[in-house]
Amino acid sequence: MVKIVISGHGQLSTGILSAFEMIFGADPAVIAIPFLKGEGLPQVQEKFQAEIDALAEGEEVLFLVDVFGGTPYNAAAQVIYPLKNADILTGVNLPLVLEAASRKDGENLAEIIPALKNVGYESFKVFTEEIKKTQTDSEEDLL
């Protein structure tokens, strides 16, 4: 099983978790740890370390953070560096959390991460491009 820790600047992580719970319901293996105004790297590391310390035997942890090189990323990197059962992905968004959560019980990190690498790309859509595709598909169907 993989525990998922969502983190980011301000209340980003709690907002994403709230949206996740509207769709999936509450899941104790998916949590949010915000990086709040007035906190620094040591405070965030302490919160992350508490989650690492609470892992069950054989459990893995995946940190989904907002930006590469930001405080949540740096704190997670320092906490997981010596571990083999943890990793970090940047660019957290709701589709990424939904996909990770749908795989966390049946797959390990080595299986989940490659699938998650495509989620950001696949979930990014531009309205005008999608309309053009639909119109092109409709025109081809008429031929």
What is the residue extent of each domain of the chain?
2-142
Residue identified by tokens 């083999």 is 84
CATH class for the region spanning 2-142: alpha beta
- Segment 129-139 shows an average pLDDT of 78
Q: What is the distance between the alpha carbons of residues 30 and 138, in angstroms, rounded to a whole number? A: 41
Helix (H) / strand (E) element for 4: namely: strand 2-9
Angle subtended at Cα 78 by Cα 72 and Cα 80, rounded to the nearest 5 degrees: 95
What pLDDT does 121 receive?
Answer: 80
- Measure the CA–CA gap between 9 and 35, rounded to whole angstroms: 5
Query: Which tens digits make up the pLDDT trace of 50-74?
Result: 999 999 999 999 999 999 999 999 9
- Whether residue 45 is predicted with pLDDT greater than 60 in this model: the reply is yes
Enzyme catalytic residues:
9
Query: CB 3: neighbour CB atoms within 10 A?
Result: 22
Please state, in angstroms and rounded to a whole number, the distance separating the CA atoms of residues 69 and 54.
25
pLDDT at 135: 77
Of the pLDDT bands very low, low, confident and very high (cuts 50, 70, 90), residue 76 is very high
- 125 has a pLDDT exceeding 90: no
